[in-house]
Amino acid sequence: MRVLRDAHMPTHVLAARQSDQGHCTPPTMLPIDATLFEEGFQLNFNIPVPPGSTAPVPRIDEETRMLTVSLPVISITVPHVESLPLLLLYAMKLETDLIVLARNLLPGQVLGEFPSLPAMITFLPPIGHQDFERIFRFNQGMRNNTLALVPRADSLQTVISNAWNAVAEARRTRQRETQTGQ
């Protein structure tokens, strides 16, 4: 992998595939620190880290003259690849501001009401269909990834759960309104 900055070097690369896409699409490659990954999630993936090992050392690639590093690859299958980088960022505590996470899960007009479920629900249904479906799918994927990987941070799970509950309830409201012709 190409090195952008020679600091906080990753130890491994996750080759993430989405469970419903099989092996027909290339995996998304996500560099991680194995220790932070295992500290961030309750599931033990038994990432191989030899005792006393140090972070990989970058080297200059002779062809490209760029700094690169070789990392062991770990294959992982998740429900939703698109939301996995955001989940990793927070579960590994590389980012800790949960308001920023909420901004990535919900539109601005809804965020002002966070975490009040009834208030959030009132702001979600008027969003256009395509935008709402994008928000719904992303939150559904994030929630499913959370259920599959089980992050340790309760506060992280709470934000994701609150966002998912709001979007899921807003979708039910939208469907009821469509059925009644409103």
% of residues, the chain, pLDDT over 70: 92
Q: What type of residue sits at position 88?
A: L
**Using CA atoms, how far apart are residues 34 and 46, in angstroms rounded to an integer?**
9
% of residues, the chain, pLDDT over 90: 47
Tell me which DSSP letter residue 58 carries: P
Record the pTM: 0.86
- Element (DSSP H or E) covering residue 71: none
